Amino acid sequence: MTAPALVPWSNGYQYDRFKIEHALGDLWWSPEALAAGDTFPDATLVTPDGQTVTLREFANGRPLLLMSGSVTCPMATSAIGPYGELSDRFGGDLAVALIDIREAHPGARRPQPHDMQAKIANARELLHDNDLRFPVLIDDMQGTVHRAMDTFANSAYLIDGEGKVVFRSLFASDTATLVPAIEALMAGQPAPSTSSSAMVGPIAFGMGYSP
């Protein structure tokens, strides 16, 4: 499904208020979105303790499962438990990380971070409040990794050990489609599905985590 041409990110990348066009922009893959077979770009990210690491260094030759999220995103919060289970299940054979991106729902009580110090503070809170069993890696202020994930609030990308996209999901919590793709990758088989645009189930699941 391709986004209609008249759904722009009119406020720019670091928007200060969530608006309807931002919600609409989460519902369609853009024509430029990375898809199966494309190379996912390497990038330098920051850990919650202020260290830097590239995606390739973090993966260390392993397949990589990335989920985008932020402390104000209930969809991301809803996916943390299932992704913790995936991290436990596949152990050291699969590198799992939450990519901390711009805030999905900034406002007066939780403004959009405009420097890395504020962004790191939000990532630390996300890590602490949700007792994550897998790492958080913080994207840069320009959203380098997030843009590669099509700037959705809570998408997922499965990447093989060579850095090629194997599977992508509009919403990370669509584990019913994701898990068979992981199992196939681990078995050296083609993924039964390479892309998911499922919305109803993940959104309904995420609504239970809205404050």
Show Cβ contacts of residue 83 under 8 Å, excluding neighbours closer than 6 positions: 65, 67, 96, 98, 134, 172
Could you give the percent of the chain with pLDDT greater than 90? 71
Q: Which residues of 25-47 are buried (b: 16+ CB within 10 A; e: fewer)?
A: bbbbbeeebbebeeebeebebbb
Q: How confident is the model at residue 200 (pLDDT cuts 50, 70, 90)?
A: low
Reduced to 3 states (helix: H, G, I; strand: E, B; else coil), residue 165 is: strand
Tokens of 185: 């990758």
Count of residues in the chain: 211
Please tell me the predicted confidence (pLDDT) of residue 176: 94
Render 125-159 in DSSP notation, one character per residue: HHHHHHT-SS-EEEPPTT-HHHHHTTT-SS-EEEE
Whole-prediction pTM value? 0.88
Give the domain ranges of the chain: 20-207
pLDDT band at 85 (very low <50, low <70, confident <90, very high): very high
Indicate the residue type of 179.
V
Cα distance between residue 62 and residue 74, in whole Å: 29
The topology under which CATH files domain 20-207 is Glutaredoxin (3.40.30)
Pull the structure tokens for residue 131: 């007792």
Query: Which residues face 158 on adjacent strands?
Result: 65, 167
Tell me how far the alpha carbon of residue 162 is from its chain's centroid: 19
DSSP E strand boundaries for 16-141: 44-46, 52-54, 64-69, 95-100, 136-138
pLDDT number for residue 206: 56
Q: In DSSP terms, which residues pair with 157 in a beta bridge?
A: 66, 168
Closest by CA position to 35, among listed 4, 2, 9, 62:
2
In tens, the pLDDT along 113-151 reads 999 999 999 999 999 889 899 999 999 999 999 999 999
